[in-house]
Amino acid sequence: MATAGVVANGPNNEEKQAVGIDGPTNPMVTPLLNDLYQFTMAYAYWKGGKHNERAVFDLYFRRNPFGGEYTVFAGLEECIRFIANFRFTEDEIAFVQASLPPSCEIGFYDYLRGIDCSDVEIHAISEGFVVFPKIPLMRVEGPVAVVQLLETPLVNLINYASLVATNAARHRFVAGKSKLLLEFGLRRAQGPDGGIGASKYCYMGGFDATSNVAAGKLFGIPLRGTHSHAFVSSFMSPDEITEKSLKSSDSSNICEDFVSLVQAWLSKLKFGTSYEALDVLDVYHLLEKESEWSQLLGGIFGETNQSELAAFASYALAFPKNFLALVDTYDVMRSGVPNFCAVALALNDLGYKALGIRLDSGDLAYQSCETRKFFQAIEKEFGVADFGRTNITASNDLNEETLDALNKQGHEIDAFGIGTHLVTCYAQPALGVVFKLVEINNQPRIKLSEDVSKVSIPCKKRCYRLYGKEGYPLVDIMTGENEPSPKVGERILCRHPFNESKRAYVVPKRVEELLKCFWPGRSGNVFVSSAAPMTELNPYQVHFLCASDILYLGVHKFMQPVSDGKEREELPPIKLIRERCINQLNLMRPDHMRRLNPTPYKVSVSAKLYDFIHFLWLNEAPVGELQ
Ligand SMILES: Nc1ncnc2c1ncn2[C@@H]1O[C@H](COP(=O)(O)OP(=O)(O)OP(=O)(O)O)[C@@H](O)[C@H]1O
Ligand SMILES: O=P(O)(O)OC[C@H]1O[C@H](OP(=O)(O)OP(=O)(O)O)[C@H](O)[C@@H]1O
Ligand SMILES: O=C(O)c1cccnc1
Ligand SMILES: [Mg+2]
């Protein structure tokens, strides 16, 4: 049964403690969450005696999503949780056996039984970083058959996570830093995992809270919410409310009939003054006052909807400290807003401050401005401090474009609730993350394509971000693993990987190494396979290296265990990743971030890596013959 597999998957508790990393959040993330061809390839590697050859794969994407020039890297922690607990259960092995041809030798299943990721080493960019095409987000090194089995799950865990985190960051960018952004997408997400993932990664990408309770529990994301039209339309009349008493906020007195207090405020609102302040015999004065108030508010309301008033009063009785109201069920300005204000002012009498309203249809810019005027008029007329600043939340099919349109028109919205477009990544449904072999047994590999953007960048590489004197990142650069790192204040040539004429010297003010070790293998003592001596360098390596490099490699690569004693990077809590992401986005030069025709961020390779890519390209590409 599937659940038995889920429960039994991964190491037992004792082993888990030794690893110290919990399994993936979603129990469906097992070694079987894979494409069949990973198993057929693993079998063929094993059958050919190739399975333990040491391979290096890069995980990267080719184009930024949403027509932008940046991406937020997300999903790393779930990858490490997967790697740390990677192990086949008997149940799973039996299923693989049943799925492969019967001619597959039984020894392969013993092999599967024995594998885990203790021989795998993962370097990755930190989660929450702003990242760019072609730069490896993860470099996965290990026995080729094992790493091959990681491809699909790792790509799956990164693809949507990074896409939706980027989508969230883009919505934040348009909305502005001061707005509260609420993720409301669970009902519209692509299934339960889509919903949970959206809540997690939208928070990471800069949203403030989610309506998704399960995500709140799993990740500690702040929960927020209002109420729906159903609650409003479920009421028929104020007579339905039987329990009408409400204690004041300091419990010093009790209002026995809160509904009547609300009604009294509603009629005060109609005339724009409190009856107590009027000499009721002064009819002329009353009419004058009414007309002033009408002018201020454009004579906007007469009789409001009483069932809506009942819903609001009832909600306030349930949540006097957290009262908010969805005001568009019947008519925003003629009913919803005045009804809300009547309830809010009644609450104010008892020492409570209403939270605000939500608009969910119509022209959100116009309605928010009209509502703000109404709130401000009340603050002025009735002397209720801060009433003019009562929170206005808007929702209804919002996306980057509508947020942008609202900004251009001018609006008074404080918070946006965004669902469908955000979580489904309506504007672009996939990021296009790939996982490509770049080296096997120390032999660099390249994947050629007619389409230059699809040619892979060979070799086990290091990646750096170079910062300029103004503090902005200028360029990312990939180098061969054993090239000396770029140095602050030293000029380095950065080359476009495929376009000969595109190159620039950079003198970095700051150099940041991007790939850090997140999984050194459980032994922490992973060796480069077959520890090839210098004299056995292959022709590609000889071409690639100058004499000093060979000396460097001789000492550092081929004679020493690569990750001996290597420390594993911490997996920080989501709140810190979110802060890191916000800081990273703030650090970018504005022209890379703008929505219309953003400037591409430069991604480059060192001069040596450039030469080597092209040497390998020529070596691997057959020469055509014209007749
Ligand atoms: N001022 C505005 N400028 C641009 N777009 C807006 C503005 N106000 C609202 N929108 C967007 O316009 C769309 C209006 O949606 P729609 O045509 O379904 O009407 P509605 O107001 O939702 O009607 P209904 O009452 O049927 O719910 C939504 O996507 C909303 O985000
Ligand atoms: O519009 P989204 O960005 O997806 O945000 C979530 C939506 O979900 C809720 O209502 P729902 O859409 O279920 O009903 P409605 O269409 O009648 O508003 C809410 O009122 C929002 O409109
Ligand atoms: O709390 C809300 O207002 C909410 C939650 C989910 C979807 N739409 C609205
Ligand atoms: Mg809707």
- How long a stretch of residues is the chain? 627
In angstroms, the CA 278 to CA 285 distance is 8
In 118-249 the beta strands, taken as DSSP E runs, fall at 121-124, 130-131, 138-143, 180-183, 209-210, 246-247
What is residue 223's predicted lDDT score, i.e. its pLDDT?
98
The verdict on the CB of residue 417 being under 6 Å from ligand 3 is yes
The token duo for 458 is 């060979």
How far apart are the CA of 317 and the centre of ligand 2, in A? 25
- The one-letter amino acid at 303: E
Do β-strands 246-247 and 209-210 pair in parallel, antiparallel, or remain unpaired? unpaired
How far apart are the CA of 161 and the centre of ligand 3, in A? 22
How far apart are the CA of 187 and the centre of ligand 2, in A? 9
Give the distance, in angstroms, between the CA of residue 434 and the centroid of all CA atoms in the same chain.
Answer: 19
- Looking at all shown ligands, the one closest to residue 420's CA atom is 2
**What is the tally of helices (H) and strands (E) in the chain?**
22, 22
What's 384's DSSP letter? Answer: -
Interval 247-291: pLDDT, tens: 999 999 999 999 999 999 999 998 776 555 555 555 566 666 666
What is residue 45's predicted lDDT score, i.e. its pLDDT?
98
**180-183, strands of its sheet edge to edge:** 209-210, 180-183, 415-418, 391-395, 356-359, 324-326
Give the distance, in angstroms, between the CA of residue 338 and the centroid of all CA atoms in the same chain.
Answer: 38
Q: What ipTM goes with this model?
A: 0.97
pTM score, two decimals? 0.91
In angstroms, the CA 266 to CA 378 distance is 12
287 CB neighbour count, 10 Å cutoff: 11
Q: Which of 210, 179, 168, 218 is nearest to 582 (CA)?
A: 168
SS3 label, residue 480: strand
Among protein residues, the one with the nearest Cα to ligand 2's atom 15 is 396
DSSP-derived secondary structure for 203-216 = HHTT--EES-HHHH
- Looking at all shown ligands, the one closest to residue 188's CA atom is 2
Q: Positive or negative, the Cα torsion across 33, 34, 40, 43?
A: negative
| Cβ-contact 228, 583 below 8 angstroms | no
Residues contacting residue 271 through CB under 8 Å, at least 6 positions apart: 286, 289, 290, 293
Q: Phi and psi dihedrals of 614, rounded to 5?
A: -75, -30
What Å distances lie between residue 560 and 75, 302, 530, 531, CA to CA? 32, 84, 12, 8
Interval 335-385: pLDDT, tens: 999 999 999 999 999 999 999 999 999 999 999 999 999 999 999 999 999
Burial 135-150 (b: 16+ CB within 10 A, else e): bbbbbbbbbbbbbbbb
Name the β-bridge partners of 196. none
How far apart are the CA of 214 and the centre of ligand 1, in A? 29
User: Which residues of the chain, if any, have pLDDT below 50?
Assistant: 1-18, 524-564
What is residue 285's predicted lDDT score, i.e. its pLDDT?
64
Among protein residues, the one with the nearest Cα to ligand 3's atom 3 is 226
**433-440, strands of its sheet edge to edge:** 443-444, 433-440, 54-61, 138-143, 121-124, 516-519
In angstroms, the CA 486 to CA 463 distance is 10
